[in-house]
Structure formats: C-alpha cells, structure tokens
Amino acid sequence: MKRFGLSKKERIKKKNDFSRVYNSGKIIYSNGRKLKAIFYLGEDGEKNVKVAFGISKKAGNAAWRNRLRRLLKESYRLNKEILSEQNNSLYVVFSPNTLNKKKHPKLYLRDVEADVVDLLKKLRNNL
RNA sequence: GAUGCAAGUUGGGCAAUUGCUGCUCUAUAACGAGGAACGUUAUGAGUAGAGGAAAGUCCGAACUCCAGAGAACAGGGUGCCGGAUAACGUCCGGGGGUCAAAUGCAUAAGCGUUUGAUUAAGGAAAGUGCAGCAGAAAAAAUACCGUCCCGCUUAUGCGGGGUAAGGGUGAAAAGGCAGGGUAAGAGCCUACCGCUUUGUUAGUAAUAACAAGGGUCCAGUAAUGGAGUUCCGACUAGUCGGAAUCAGUGUAAACCCCACCUGGAGCAAGGUCAUGUAUAAGACUACCCGUCUAUUUUAGACGGGUCAAAGUUGUUCGCUUUGUAUGUCUUGGGUAGACCGCUAGAGUUUGAUAGCAAUAUCAAAUCGAGAUAAAUAAUUGCCGUCCUGAUUAUUCGGGACACAGAAUUCGGCUUAUAGACUCGCAUCAUCA
RNA sequence: CGGAACGUGGCGCAGUCCGGUUAGCGUACUUGACUGGGGGUCAAGUGGUCGCGGGUUCAAAUCCCGCCGUUCCGA
C-alpha cells in the first residue's frame, strides 16, 4: 500500500456502511468547530481504515463543495499514518460543521489541513 | 492616441513533486487444480481526462417503455408575412404599429423623409362579461354649469323645450380643423386631413402606391315629416313592422372565435444476470344460442351474442384481455450488487458551389472524459495581467486573477461572468 | 439526475381561480380600565417593498415572462 495513496479500497462505497456510521457512530469536532468527524469502530479484527467525505448542499455551490472535498481528501492522504496503529476496521466520515461558502469564499490547504490533523489525533486518543 | 457604444473570439502558460479515474500492454508478482492459454487482484510503464455557460430546467427533438400508441370532444400550446430546420416558443429576411430627435411642406389639424429605440402584434362591424371612485351621463348613454327659444313674472328667477361649440369629472365623453349655416348649435353643408369600401399595379405574401366612390334627396326657422337605397322579421304574398345609411370606446397576458400543432411518462427510461423475501393480501369468477363428440340425467370442445371486471392515466365511442385455470388483475413486501443502455454525433474544421441571409449540397481532413457516496486534482517555483507599499532613471516586498464542475445525447432560450484580443461606429486631442 | 408544490405583519393562515372598494383572521406586542398585586377579561392601538425584477391594463397580492429561496416525491 502506498504511503500517501488513497485508493478505492480505502474509501467507503457501500450504502450499508454509510448507514452503519450515521446510525451508530460517534461525533467529534475539531478545534474551532470548523469540521466534524463521525466514526464507527468495527470488531472483526481486520486492520483497515475506510473514510468518506460528506458535504451538505447548503454549504455552497457545486464548485466550492468539490474543492473542499478535494482539500479534505488531500489532508487525510498526507496524514493518514496517524491512524496506522489501530487493529480493527474503522469507518470515518468527515464533514464541515461551521464552514460554508459565505464565510470562506476562497479555500486553501493550509486552513483545512490543521483541522484535519487535529481531528485525527483526537480520533487516535478515543480508540 | 484616449474615451464610449455595439458585435465577435478567447476564458492564463511552463516545469517539478505527490495523488485519482478510464483504456492499452508478448511487462512483473500473487491467487484460481495452474505448465501453456485465460480470468481476477496488485504493482509498473504508456496514454487520455470539465464548460461557454457543463448552471436554470424554460422550450424543441433523438432514444426507451406503457399488451395499439385509434376517432371525436375536452384540455394545453403557438399567433404580422415568407423562408431555414429533424423540430421549436429558435434563427434569417421582409413589411406594419408606437415613441423620441432632426428636417421639409402646411394657417392649423396633419403628412413626408432620415436616424434611433421599442413591439406576445390574428379577430373588438360573431357573441358574452367587465370598466371601481369621480362625473349629469360609461356604451345604440347623457343636459350639472353654460347657452338659445317660448310661457309666466315688477324683478331676482321659475317652468317647458332645443343644443355636445365652451366649462367641469375621468385612463377613456362617440372623428380633427377652418369656413358656411343657425334662434343657438351639431357631418347639418363644403374644402383639406383622417377613416372606410371597391378596383388596378408591384410583390409568393404581409403590405405599399395610385385611381374611383362613401357624410343621401325634398319640404320646414327648428323639432320633424316624406321619398330613395340596403338588410331583417311577419303573414293576408305585396303589404306591414323594425333597423341601418362616416366609426357602438377600451380590454382577447377576460371568456371566446379563427388558423396551425399536440397520447403519456421519462436513462432513477428500459433490458439481462445474480442475491433474496412470503406461492403475502384482496377482487373476478355470470348467462343464452348453434355445431360436433360421448350419451340416461348430463359433461366436454369450438364458434357467436349478452353481461361483468380490468386496461386504454380527463370523458364518450371503439378496441384489447379474462371469466374454474394451481388463471387474470390490483395492492403490498423484498433486492440497492454486476453488466448493457454509454458515448462517432442532425459532430468539428477548412475549401468550393447556391443563396441578401439563416442555411443547404459536395470534397478533404479531423475527432480520444464516461465516473456512480461519483475521477479529471493538490502543493511549490518561474513567467503573464492588475492593484498597492517602499526606493527612486532601477530594484525589492505584499495582495489579487472571474462565473463556475460533466451524470443518456443533441438544437436553442434565459441567467452568471475578472481580464485579454479583433473589427466597426461616434466624440475629443495631436501631427501632416 | 428527473419531476412537483409553496413564498402575504414577529409566528400560523385566508384572499390569487374570475384584476377595483380599507389586504383580513387568530396569536404575539404596546397602552388603558376592572384587581391590593399577578393571571384573566374588556377596549383602543402599533406593525405589510404581498420573495425580487420586468411586461399587459386606466388600475396587479391577483394575469403573463424571467430570476431567487424553501419543501416534498421518484430505482
């Protein structure tokens, strides 16, 4: 597996997985409450982490949402080794909480990455 | 050269690193009984990878399904004329209306020419509805003030009648204006303008130009009466009665009339395979006639008719299916995985020909997204454009670079949009 | 992606079909009266770009066109 890669196997694709995360997952927020993450810890013993990025239609128009999703993906991709020590299957969905297009018409990686790292560290401590 | 307007084109570039999706490979590895071949997965290499609006979903089509998708009505849409097109509410060309400016003619009303803007613009002399408030009167209307005549009265004025020129109301008051006429007035009469009818010419047509006709005639101060012409109705069939004889205004994005178009749903359409639930629930299960077979009653098959149910997604007709078969129809439940549909097409560019143009025909060349909790990217550096701070004939900083993201595919419309370029027009400045 | 409905005082609605009278109702809010005070009742009052922009009309919340926003449905 690539060190900085993010292939199809590392993403949540099935509808059942999504409903499991949203129905019985836990929510944590980043410092400043810009972002939030919903996660679900499985008990099958398989060592893999799956992620997804969910952005509401109310946050902004399609081009803005597309850019935010790519930045979130990039931030996770560069920092996913933080979660490499756990042993069960883990499902995580990242979403913006207070972030929207009206407040932040221009998005940059340096703004988003710090919050994602913060979220990942909190996640590791919760396991 | 600057500024403004209008039209069109374009929608930052190069490199490095790290990634994603599709396709290709005599590539490497693992797995599948596994040597070859094949398949799957991973890795590697190569290659391609958002738009002019991809948007809004406002129109039009292609394509697919609905067990005919037929007819009539209803409903919906379009609306100057002609052309283009697969089609359109789109585009092109032509003509008309309205408004503004300039200018010419005219006493005026008005008419002509040029330029610009705008125009959902068939029919209001087929019918119906509506026109609040104000105003005397609002649609075959009407006399409030005024004005004229007659009667009464000392007079102020009162009563009767005429009058739409003037005042006033209103968005709108029943052609305009000048002269004649009159008791006063009025198309009451006349000229001009407008309106309208018919004809000719030009044009495929909308329409335009030109010509002719249309406000009747007689009597009367007037009201009015008579005559003529046209239309309608009645009957006793050639008389009687009624209406008209220069606009009965506006509204059809009110009903409506006319012409043309129109079945419904939409790629989450639909098809194949896999997985999987519960043969779950409900409705219909009628009658007559004829023929044939077996024959005691009777039963079965075929054909026809009636009836019932369901479908035909508004109604009717018509049509189709079913009516004792482990049948048909309706409702409900379950699956959310894979593949096909899925991208080469009414495609793009160039040239020639036809055409005023939209566009068409022919020839040559060319094209490379196809995802599905959804790829097409992120960061950095340099260059480019703009803003700004310091320094000052040069350099160093800082910031910004639009609107916006394919989801079956096309043709349009509408809306959003920083900057750059091209052509044309107008104004100003400078030089020759 | 496709298809539908709705937008009127702070809140919930009527009026829109078929244009005209003052845009109305409940609740909330303000003031006053009744009460020793509160609650409650009664009376009076405030508050509206009828989502936004054009058009038709003498006149538009209402008719027509274009935008904006919200909600719902579809394997």
CATH number at residue A40: 3.30.230.10
Give how many domains chain A has, as a whole number: 1
ipTM: 0.82
Give the pLDDT confidence score for residue A1 in this predicted structure: 44
Q: What is the pLDDT of residues A68-87, one digit of tens each?
A: 888 898 888 888 888 877 67
Q: Residue A45: left (phi > 0), alpha (psi -120 to 50), or beta?
A: left
Distance A86 CA to C5 C1' (A): 50
Which nt sits closest to A1, CA to C1'? B42
CA distance A74 to A79: 9
**Residue (of A79, A96, A120, A125) closest to A32 by Cα position:** A96
Considering the domain boundaries, does residue A93 fall inside one?
yes
Distance A60 CA to B136 C1' (A): 67
CA A14 to each of CA A8, A39, A43: distance values in angstroms, whole numbers, following the listed order: 11, 15, 18
Considering the domain boundaries, does residue A2 fall inside one?
no
Considering the domain boundaries, does residue A1 fall inside one?
no
Nucleotides of B under 7 A from a protein CB: 18-21, 42-44, 50, 54, 336-337, 372-380, 400-401, 403-406
Amino acid code (one letter) for A78: L
Residue-number span of the structural domain to which A107 is assigned:
8-126
- pTM of the entire structure? 0.78
Considering the domain boundaries, does residue A85 fall inside one?
yes
Query: What confidence tier does A17 reach under pLDDT thresholds 50, 70, 90?
Result: confident
Distance A79 CA to C21 C1' (A): 73
Query: What confidence tier does A44 reach under pLDDT thresholds 50, 70, 90?
Result: low
Considering the domain boundaries, does residue A3 fall inside one?
no
